[in-house]
Amino acid sequence: MKDKIKKYWKDILLFLAIMGPGIITGSVDNDAGGITTYSVAGAIYGYKLLWTLIPSFIALVVVQEMNARMGIVTGKGLADLIRENFGVKITFFIFLGLLAADIGNTATEFAGVAGSLMVFGVSKYISVPLSAIAVWILVVKGTYKTTERIFLLFSFCLLSYIISALLAKPDWQQIGTAFVSPAMHFNNNYLSMVLGIIGTTIAPWMQFYMQSAVIEKNLKIKNYKFAVCDVIVGCIATVVVAFFIIVACAATLHKNGVVINEAKDAAMALKPFAGIFASELFAFGLFVASIFSATILPLATAFYVCEAFGFEAGINKRMSEAPQFYALFTAIIA
């Protein structure tokens, strides 16, 4: 009995030491664009699209586990494997498209930072430059261990959406019905929103970050089962946060016929229906998600571009050891 208890605690400690890549990658899925998608879905369709989180979760676990496994077994990043198997020419065109998309997405994240802090009365001319500087210092001057701890803290802060949703006093019976007997429609708007939710949950760039983070953490085959647990916990966190964002907007905005176009609008619109605290919590969650993704997205981009073309990459490396990595990261957030 004592041996079983000792093994149980040993496994917990090992998991705590190994956790990080899966939870961080899962949590960062809920970026400014994702929060906007979930908010609009809740405002327009109420609880009707909650069922989409089930296939999203399954697909997310499958993809993330695959990335973790490839990283652990090969010790190479996803971009590195693409280059080795498909050649430099195809790799170049693939990553040219991804680079352009990621630069646009990074701009969206900083727009999320600006929008969220405007709810608290902070000008975008102050919030965006200061956030960009903070992001640069964190990655360029920090170590992987320090950066990972801050990312895990960001992941935990996203749980503020749970409180925001509970303050909105949702109808749990309707929520249960939405899962047990989902209302399916086949018009263009409905199907576009379904694809939007699934698409924002499984982003291409996060697969590159996941595999690179596994390598950066130096995980081995003996750590695989704990890496899978890390992935599953991260995926659960992703859909739980998405669930409560949809619920918060469905219980307030949809119920009162409020139409929104972005997550900032949702935060401000919550105030008269759920109170100022719920509104500020929603805005705080948007800020955390945006600054989190504004750090990870350029980082993932720098990782996969450098891996694809054989340059040194890694947060633990000094600027002199990985000049291309840090130059690209800096250029994207500038």
- pLDDT tens, the chain, 334 aa long: 666 777 777 777 777 777 888 888 888 888 888 889 999 999 999 999 999 999 999 999 999 999 999 999 998 888 888 888 888 888 888 888 888 888 888 888 899 999 999 988 899 999 999 999 999 998 888 777 888 888 888 888 888 889 888 988 999 999 999 888 888 888 889 999 999 998 888 887 788 888 888 888 888 898 898 899 999 999 999 999 999 999 999 999 998 888 888 888 888 888 887 888 888 888 998 898 899 888 888 888 888 888 888 888 888 888 888 889 899 999 988 7
The structural architecture, per CATH, of the domain 2-333 is Up-down Bundle (1.20)
Q: Which of 304, 310, 332 is nearest to 140 (CA)?
A: 332
Kindly report the pTM of this predicted structure: 0.88
Instruction: Locate the domains of the chain by residue range.
Output: 2-333
DSSP string, 34-65: HHHHHHHHHHHHTTTTGGGHHHHHHHHHHHHH
Length of the chain: 334
C-alpha to C-alpha distance for 180 and 178, rounded to whole angstroms: 6
DSSP string, 103-117: HHHHHHHHHHHHHHH
* The residue type at 273: F
